[in-house]
Amino acid sequence: MAVIKWDFTVEMADGTEHNIVADQRDLSEWEEEKFGTPFHQAQNKPVVFSRYLAWSAMVREGLREEGPADWKKFKRECKEVRENSASAGDQVDPGKAAPPDAP
């Protein structure tokens, strides 16, 4: 089974940035949310998907509080979630060429 993970930089309205890694634990949280979707349908809500995974990972790491109230607060305070990995949720396969380095 392939490792599923996303490397994010989260930029908050107060100017702070957090580098965080979301993984299958966060994906399962997303799928259980009433607004979530199965993983194969996540492209239907790509911005919310990335933001939720980042928030969930931050909760796991003790950087945010758990629960609907903090998720709502996070949505207001988070300016941007940027992916740092070459391809979200996709690790380099030994049979594939590595993605090019960013300039």
> Which residue do the tokens 């199965």 mark?
38
Please, are residues 78 and 13 in contact by the beta-carbon 8 Å criterion?
yes
pLDDT at position 93 is: 44
Closest by alpha carbon to 5, among 31, 24, 19, 20? 24
pLDDT at position 42 is: 87
pLDDT tens by residue, the chain, 103 residues: 578 899 999 999 999 999 999 999 999 999 999 988 888 898 899 999 999 999 999 999 999 999 999 999 999 999 999 999 644 444 444 444 455 555 5
pLDDT at position 4 is: 87
Q: What is the pTM of this model?
A: 0.78
